[in-house]
Structure 1
Amino acid sequence: MTTARQPRPVVLLRPVPGTSVIHELWAGTKIIVVLAFSALMAFYPDWVPLALVAILIGIAIRLARIPRGVVPSVPRWLWLLLLLGAVTATIGGGAPEVHLGSYGIAFGGLLKFVRITVVSVVLLALGMLVSWTTNVADVAPAVARLGRPLKVLRIPVDDWAVALALSLRAFPMLLEEFRLLHAARRLRPRPVLNSRRAGRRRWAIEMVDLMAAGITVALRRADEMGDAITARGGTGLISAAPSGPRRADWVVLTISAVVCAVSVLLQVTVLAGGGI
């Protein structure tokens, strides 16, 4: 008797156990790299920048020793959605074209769809890499350090950093609580309903109950987190922790800047107008 393989859930905002060169990087360095590569992919989503960024991310994943078990399973409906998108993009046509006898098939739309899909996967992998190698407690001091020049404009950078840190810490807890609530709802016996109207009414009542339970859980978690922060000295300590780049961070920033500069240079000079 064989058992069905359980799908692996999405695990984010929780660093993978262990240490590596990527784990020890400053959180601000990872934020800068994410912003730089995201801007590069937004302005130049072509194959050459995509290949360079993908190679660099692959090397970083290798150095971080990310196990395959943390990679979430891809649901079947997503594969079907990608297949549907590929088919509709192929119908759109465009160069290049392949001629089979008297028939011609245009693959321009398909190639654009594949490129956009690969860009999304690469940026998603970059975000997951940062999530799996960064402690949430290190994000607030890094944001406060990076936003220090904005204090001249009387922008409350420290408050923003604290709010971001608390949001990142609360998200995994609330997600786990909602999973427990959903599991408890599924264990409840289902009532026998005689009509579709009764079924819709029952569904609406259950949704209201779940929302009320979720709000209650969120308030309870917020109260507990507030007591814990007060006992440890207040929110000021969250963004006041010492934080800054080291030698390895400057190396990573230099490599990332070189990749971005080479990608832009190739797109503007050598490959201008020749992208797919």
Structure 2
Amino acid sequence: MKYATSPTPSSSSFNYPRSTSPLPAPANYQPTTASAAVKRYKYLRRLFQFNQMDFEFAAWQMVYLFVSPQKVFRNFNYRNHTRSQFARDDPAFLVLLSIWLFLSSVCFALGMGLGWGQLVLFIIFVVFVDFIGAGLLVSTIFWYLSNRYLRRDASSPDVEWGYAFDVHINAFFPPLSLLHCLQIVLFNSLLSQPGILSCFVSNTFWLASIIYYLYITFLGYSNYGKLVGNDLPMLTNARAFLLPLPALTLAYIASLLMGFNLSHMLKDFYLYRVL
């Protein structure tokens, strides 16, 4: 039985039938010994070759990060059979995410009543600090921790840094959509107002966003190297990424009891940057 939940991807993505044994390599499969630097160069070079990007498949991944993120990470393992790498070799997802981030930031800035000069400064901070800078830092930390503490044994392959970055941007997309898009619809009419209802709705948005991020990160590392069938993943104890959930729930309850509105905090933080 073939999975019928995604559009037909380009040659960089394949759907395979379910099996109880490792997948056979395609007839045209050639193992690659390319270094991380070579893979990174090819990836960055494709950022300027839009005609070679599979935007349809990247859009499918964005949808399924909300409805069934497990299927997105299953494709990463299929890619390893055809490309000998788990990380994306097609920057289409990153391009779409960047466009989505830009548009949502513009809407958020206009919702806060920023002028045009402040809007430009706001977008620079969001894109280059919150997204690129924080993304590189978080990806590097998780990459180091997973290789240092989560590998099943010393002979297991290292986690690719590119894969760690892919996990981060996958996990970043749902919180971005919740906090920069859905939240902005209610921002001026409800979330920026005082009162317990505003605090409850605002902080619930934040709780859902952080849970989404932690859960998708957990899926990414728990499925790393896991082939179709009963093979074990290359990493173990990936549940460590879910350990903050109890503390997160307690912090959520405490914020409601104290009337601490996280949307007000976010707005004050953004305004402090640009004013």
Q: TM over 0.5: same fold?
A: no
Bin of the TM-score, shorter chain as denominator length: under 0.3
Rg bigger for which structure?
A: 1
TM-score by length of 2: 0.27
TM-score by length of 1: 0.27
